[in-house]
Structure 1
Amino acid sequence: MMGMDGAAWLAALQRDFPPSGTLAADVDALFAAHGREVTREHVPRVAHEALGLAQRFGVDPLAAQTAALLHDVGGIVSGARMPALCGGLGVPIVPEERQVPMLLHAKLSVVLARELYGVTDTGVLQAVRFHTTLHARPTPLDRVVFLADKLEWDQGGVPPYHADLLNALEDGLEAGTRWFLGWMASPQARLLIPHPDLRAAWAAFGISAPA
């Protein structure tokens, strides 16, 4: 599908991957067909974690699972191709996303959630959109998907912050969110570049952004 414009890309996916009615299976098939084995293994773990957090903190479990299953579907596209594809789809791009194109995968995930899987729930789409960076006014669903993605990261092994984040969550969802945003502002996070939405989240939670 290289070289296709946005409309042709979507049409090809709609033709080749029609929804079966079972979202988990559909997403698994999409990742398998595109050779995204790491993400294919990561996503169901995030969905399981999101379900647990949702039940624990009084968030709609179906919405949490749906957003978690869809959060990385935009990653079927290579990072190098994301800016051009987003441009063709009319998806706004900020300078930081041009510098680190993989930051665009969340926006592409929203497009696929809506256009391929028929998701119209604005809360679910928002949680998908901000699962990497969060934003200034996150809902409980946003926080659940954001933290589930971090607890079940896709980089192999156990995240270095795992125990500390779980400990912070003992004081509630907001406390866990605040703790992890703080960790993301630390040198240990080794961020390539802070996204503007992440900077907005830091400001909203009173966290000093790195220089």
Structure 2
Amino acid sequence: MNAVYARLILPHPTGNLKEEIYQFLLHNHPATAEHCMEVGEEAGRIAKQYGANVEAAQAAGYLHDISAVFPNPERIRVAVELGIEVLPEEEVFPMIIHQKISKAMARDLFHIQDDEILDAVGCHTTLREHATRLDKVLFVADKIRWDQSGTPPYLEQVKAKLEHSLDAAAFEYIHYLWQRKETLKVIHPWLEQAYYDLEQGI
């Protein structure tokens, strides 16, 4: 196991992925535990609505923010130690690279081998070009069950779009950011690619 994980308290294997992730977060970053559980349940609901794999969606949701155990100032170093490519935008705004670190942790610590789950975890903040259905399910679930205080300013618009189209819901959130891109610290290239890809599809 990579030495970067040495200080983490790992859960006892139980065969119950949800419970293992919950215990892992309670011991290492309790503030994120409930958020990950909520996103997992929301992802499962959206997956059922749009014919995606419900169990895979739930697993991706439970796993998506496990990298919160590493604070922002450590994330670039952690990514490098894990052999993850670091983009210039991620150097400037390390919060974004947590999606890639969560993907690595899902594989290394929770032994997830399903590439569809891993890839969804790995792009849940920015989405990506040619996103899979599961990518979009997790992306939208995370935006609906956000981890900040208060109500997301885009929430009602995203939920309204989700009644009719998963793609439209994903695009609604990215379009919300796009309208405010001058205020963002960076525009991640994956987000930009997802914007134009979804815009063309819609």
Query: Same fold, TM exceeding 0.5?
Result: yes
**Equivalent in the alignment of 2:98:** 105
Match of 2:143 in 1: 150
Q: Which runs of 4+ in 1 moved over 2 A?
A: 9-13, 15-20, 188-192
Deviation at 1:113, TM superposition (A): 0.5
Amino acid paired to 2:87: V
Name the counterpart of 2:3: 8
- The residue number in structure 1 matching 2:73 is 80
Paired with 2:26 and 2:157, the residues of 1 have a C-alpha distance of: 33
2:4–2:81 Cα contact (<8 Å) kept: no
Residue 41 of structure 1 and its aligned partner are, at CA, apart by 1.8
Matched to 1:31, the amino acid is L
Q: Count how many residue pairs are aligned between Structure 1 and Structure 2.
A: 200
TM superposition shift of 1:19: 2.9
Tell me, yes or no, if the aligned pair for 1:137 and 1:201 is still in contact at 8 Å: yes
CA separation in 2, counterparts of 1:149 and 1:114?
Answer: 20
Asked whether the 8 Å contact 1:96–1:193 carries over to 2, the reply is yes
Q: Which residue of 2 aligns with 1:29?
A: 23
For the Cα contact (< 8 Å) 2:21–2:62, is it kept in 1?
Answer: yes
CA distance in 2 between partners of 1:32 and 1:189 (Å): 37
Structure 1 gaps of 5+ residues are 1-5
Report the CA distance between 1:9 and its aligned residue: 2.5
- 1:196 shift after superposition: 1.0
Is 1:191 aligned to 2:184, yes or no? yes
The equivalent residue for 1:41 is 34
Residues 31, 73 of structure 1: 8 Å contact kept: yes
2:70 partner amino acid: V
1:90-110 deviation per Cα after TM superposition (whole angstroms, max 9, x unaligned)? 111001111111111111111
C-alpha displacement at 1:188, in angstroms? 8.4
Deviates more, 1:49-58 or 1:24-33: 24-33
* C-alpha separation in 2, matches of 1:165 and 1:30: 31
8 A contact 2:84–2:100 mirrored in 1 = yes
Distance, in Å, in 2 between the alignment partners of 1:70 and 1:49 is: 13
State the distance in 1 between where 2:144 and 2:182 align: 14
Q: Is 1:118 matched up with 2:111?
A: yes
Cα distance in 1, alignment partners of residues 191 and 98 from structure 2 = 15
Structure 1 residues 28 and 137, CA, compared in 2 at 3 Å: closer, same or farther?
Answer: same
TM-score norm. by structure 1 comes to 0.88
Extract unaligned runs of 5+ from structure 2. none
RMSD: 1.9
SS in 2 for 1:206: helix
Instruction: Give the residue type in structure 2 aligned to 1:169.
Output: L
Q: From the superposition, tell whether residues 178 and 186 of structure 1 become closer, same or farther in structure 2 (CA, over 3 Å).
A: same
Amino acid at match of 1:195: H
How far the C-alpha of 1:163 sits from its partner, in A, is 1.0
Equivalent pairs: percent with the same residue?
33
153, 156, 164: which one pairs with 1:163?
Answer: 156
Could you state the TM-score of these two structures normalised by the residue count of structure 2?
Answer: 0.92
Alignment partner for residue 194 of structure 2, among 196, 201, 204?
201
